[in-house]
Amino acid sequence: MKNSENSNHEKTSNGTNNKNLFVQPSSKAASELKDLFIDSLKDIFWAENALVGALPKMGANATAASLVSAIKEHLAVTKNQVLRLEKIFDLLGEKAEGKKCEAMSGLLKEGDSILEETMPGAVRDAGIIAASQKIEHYEIATYGTLVAFAKTLGENDVAKLLTQTLAEEKEADCVLNDIALNAVNIVAAK
Ligand code: FE
Ligand code: ZN
Ligand code: FE
Ligand code: FE
């Protein structure tokens, strides 16, 4: 919208041009960063548990030995990330519980469709890598934010634990990059 068109529109206190776009908070809305932090931990706790359930299927559909073993390795790492989150909830005096992560749910659905849409072999491997990297990038974004929240809140032990997971997600993304560059894409292009 052009600025000239806005002049007659009422502005809300936060400067938005259309008050119809403003979302009224629910009765349970977080008013403190700590609450948003806990909610975000519940979201990623759900997501990591969903991944523990989904990674075996990805591994079972991969062909390249390097990809199969990378997925197997990341499954073990992911199981440990679930335990680390349980430790984090414990440190914060909160109950370890998940809250459905719509983003991870969507990424996993997309991963399932990629399996249906590709023939087993190099092309399906390329699809599995693509889907897995979207998942790792989502996790990297999430843990990056969680580390920042933990530091802001002065939860330094929690920040350290979250930083370990962040490093593992970055490592997994690098491994997938290497596999894609070294093997799968070369074969898939033939
Ligand atoms: Fe993870
Ligand atoms: Zn999420
Ligand atoms: Fe998201
Ligand atoms: Fe991961």
Tens digit of each residue's pLDDT, the chain (190 residues): 444 444 444 555 555 567 799 999 999 898 899 999 999 999 999 999 999 999 999 999 999 999 999 999 999 999 999 999 999 999 999 999 999 999 999 999 999 999 999 999 999 999 999 999 999 999 999 999 999 999 999 999 999 999 999 999 999 999 999 999 987 667 667 7
Domains, in order of start, for the chain: 30-189 (1.20.1260.10)
| Enclosing H/E stretch for 139 | helix 122-152
| 182 Cα: distance to centroid of ligand 4 (angstroms) | 21
| 147 Cα: distance to centroid of ligand 3 (angstroms) | 16
| 82 Cα: distance to centroid of ligand 1 (angstroms) | 8
- For 8-45, give one letter per residue: b (16+ CB within 10 A) or e: eeeeeeeeeeeeeeeeeeeeeeeeeeeeebbebbbbbb
